Structure 1
Amino acid sequence: MGRIACLALCAALAGAVPGPQAGESHSQQPTQASSAGGGAVSAQATLVQCGLGSSCVEASACSVSSSSSEACVTTESFVGVCCPLESAPGEGVAPPGSLISVEPPPPPPPPPRMVVCSEKEDCVPPRRCDADRYINRRQWKAPDVDYLDQHGPCEIRAGREGVCCRLPPEPREVQCQPDEQRCVRNNFCDEKGFISDYSVKPSPVPVIDGFKDFCKMKYGRKGICCKIPPIIRTEILCNFNEKCVGPGVCDEKGFIQNVTDETAIFGLPAEYRLGELPPEELGPFDTFCQLPRGGTGRCCRLPDPEWPRRLKLPTCGHSFHIRMPGDNTRHARETVFGEIPWQATIFEKETDKFVCGGTIVSNRQIITSDHCVETYNTSQLYVRVGEFILFQESEPLAHQDIDVRSVKTHPERGALFNDIAVIELERHLKFTPHIQPICLPKYNQKFTGRCVVSGWAKPAFIGRYQERMEKLELPTVETPACESSLWETHLGHFFRLGESMLCAGGEKDADACRGDAGGALACPSADGTYVMAGVAAWSVGCAEQGVPSVYTSVTRTLRFTRRYVRGSKQHPFFREVPKEEPKVEESPELPASSEPEMPASSAPELPASSAPELRR
């Protein structure tokens, strides 16, 4: 035994073997250390290092018999024995006398099974494979872990893994079915596969048998075959300047041709009398009318010698009188379904509370009064169009509810001035016979006739809203006459109308009241269409004799309106409706020289005025 080993063994045995007494020789053999356990350490034991399967512990702590000729040094610097790990004490070890089975470490996982792609596939990075498992080198998405687990990876090149993805489909030109489909752009085909009147979320191009089918539109542009929506025929009543005629009588502009034969105008060929009118002979938005002698026809305008030949009829401001059961029992002020198709209503989202009226001017914008919506956030409101009877679903055509995206107000808005706002909708409106935009006026256009106001007003600020939409014909009032009438109220002689104000009304029991705010003052043209002259704003009282109401002039605020409205139409050839002169019957008893006495004109008595009210 070397000198260094003897010194280490002697230092280790110092705690277990007593040192030599006085007078004893150092060459004396040390006594054997025993333990109550199964091991003992000899004084002549050889100092060793325990292997991987054992641990150095005191001899009394080892339950397995061990060799007494080998010794080791524990972590506490005591002499011990190498004891197997099954019986070594420690955390998580079974009590003495029991063996713990030690499982061998798991083998390393096998390398992933590489798959071989087919002839119609290629191994690409997972982010280049779209949802339909076609290669799309333009996209960048996260790898699909589930697909890798099911199908396994493939090898792109040494050390890189990918997925098997189908090759991009080859384009293939197809022909659409003539009677069922039409070639359109994919953003004009809705989710159900029908042609849409406005742009929607683009539909995916169909892939059939590995080919991406496309069709040819005009000028060689590519599109997809989309189904033609079913025709919904709507029966209407013709306007005052229209007649219900048979097929082949209306020209391209919608006027009755110079036909003198009454049978050709009001009759109908025998093959159409018992059946429906052909689709190509239907009126705008698939409308039809009942001919006087039986059968179906379309409403066509009477010849108008003043209308310019090269000018097309306006596509806005049309009033469709849609036939509906019970129209004969309505009172004079109630409208016919579709008669005011530009009317819109604004509601609260949470409570469905009626907020204000509005006017459709395009397929995305609504015009209303600013004081109606100034206290709301856009997320609190929604707009309903096509409503006829409030909170009922009995109309022949459904209404549309659309959320509000933004509200634009006039930059020079005052307490009573420039009370106008433009509401932008979240999506486009779908125009139907009962949902139509009104025409906007031209710059510096003036209105002097009688105009129409509509809504569900509360008469004289009391009572409840009308269930059925009503309308009133009101005379427009010149600015000087309107100021004179308002001077007689509490506003006084110092009140002046602003440039953005327009007056109408002043007749007893006939006025726009609370609930009509935001609605349009629509003035009819001689061609049967309507133009928006004003927006209902405020009044002094309601329906009082000699006190007209005040509207925001659309003509004076047209620059602001045209800035935020896209797709609106201006009336191309507006003319006032000619006034019908009353017929005076000559009485034989009245001498020709005598004239009837006319009552002296007197100023109307103005009632006690109330505070000016902003309509709600």
Structure 2
Amino acid sequence: MASCISQSSRSRVLHQKEFVQEPAVERYRFEEATNQGFEEESLESVPSLFFSFLFWIKMPEKKIGSPGMSIFSWCRVAAAVALILIILGGLGAAIWALVTYLRTTEDTGLFDVQVSAADQRLRVFDSTQRRWKHVCSSNANQLIANISCEEMGFVRAVNFSVTCAPDNGGDRDFFCVKESELTYGKKIKTALYPCKCDKGQILEVICQDCGRRMLPEERIVGGEDARQGSWPWQVSLQYDGVHQCGGSIISDRWIVSAAHCFPERYRHVSRWRVLMGSIYNTPIRKNIVIAEVKTVVYHSSYLPFVDANIDDNSRDIAVLALTKPLQFTDYIQPVCLPTYGQRLADGQMGTVTGWGNVEYYGTQANALQEAHVPIISDAVCNGPDYYDNQVTTTMFCAGYEKGGTDSCQGDSGGPFVAADVLSKTSRYRLLGVVSWGTGCAMAKKPGVYTRVSRFLPWISTAMRMYENSPGVHKMARAVTP
């Protein structure tokens, strides 16, 4: 600890340099004869300015006193030298500013909370100073680590530690934590303020890895068979041995699916099984793993469970807890959740997977199907030719105007994923959960998905509250970041 403090103090001493300001250069007026026309010259012509200056300097002057250069000529030379120095200094300052800007903004395409892959140091982007800053150690390091990982789309922090702060920190080059402001479901920035990190220690965090395919690379129509290990977070939810819905692994104990997969007749937890590890959803296949379900939590505001006559599928989301933690393999991996506040881009391509019907009213696929479809804007999907304002802010649509490729019955609760580099490394994130749609692969009737980014606090709260509570539970809304 002492070495960290002395190191940090030394850093501040090294940066307290005194700078002497250069005297301002007096501006001289050009002679009228040399200035005529020059003031009308476009400033775009720097060479013209330079040569005009040289011409002005070389003009003969009336000598004062003994033979030699006049005082006014000396003044001209001094002015010319000063101007050249000012121009060079200005260019240097501009280049320095440009380089600094590029260095501090090169990561602005990233999410503004990051953990360095090289040293696990937690960094947060200061949008005011446009700089990345380390987070100082505090008495709430475990909570900071968990909140930061959740905000980045990782389910939890698996470890944290502290290390000495770097020497190049100034008085406001770090972030300190207002511990009383820390809370799950809120962005960590709301609890941070610029500081000089008096303790000289910063936080290192290791989040649970996710969204990686270890091997090379209710509704699927017009898709294709997936390769083994292509979508290692995909699971089959089976009730009494029959495939009912899809789901997505988000941690070694938790699965995300859809609320509508758990109506009253399917709420005997002991009769549910989760199959994973294979593109086939039958128990006899190679690499298949079968897990038992301990807990089901669905959103209490999923209205069809309140009144079957209500035609509103908002908040169609559920999570399942397993009785035992999973062992991750090349064929079993968690998918990342979205980052807090992550927005979907119109036209962004995603992949939907499942064992759904390969055609409307057809039979279910033997092998896992995958289909690649673009996200459709809410404005288009709520148009009169599409779903006529049935798509709420907790949903989104994906598919093609002419149809042909879609999700279909049997893939409900399955994943809609897309890869991004918000955390520098390319990872797949669970952007949507297959929810509902009209028909299968019909023109202007795309699949509709639960918008997972709207339920991140709900998912986090459900996992914390019901981790040790067997049975089926319903939980109300949580605060959306």
TM-score class, shorter-chain normalisation, is: 0.3 to 0.5
Answer 1 or 2: which has greater helix percent.
2
Which structure is richer in relative contact order (CA contacts within 8 A, separation 6 or more)? 2
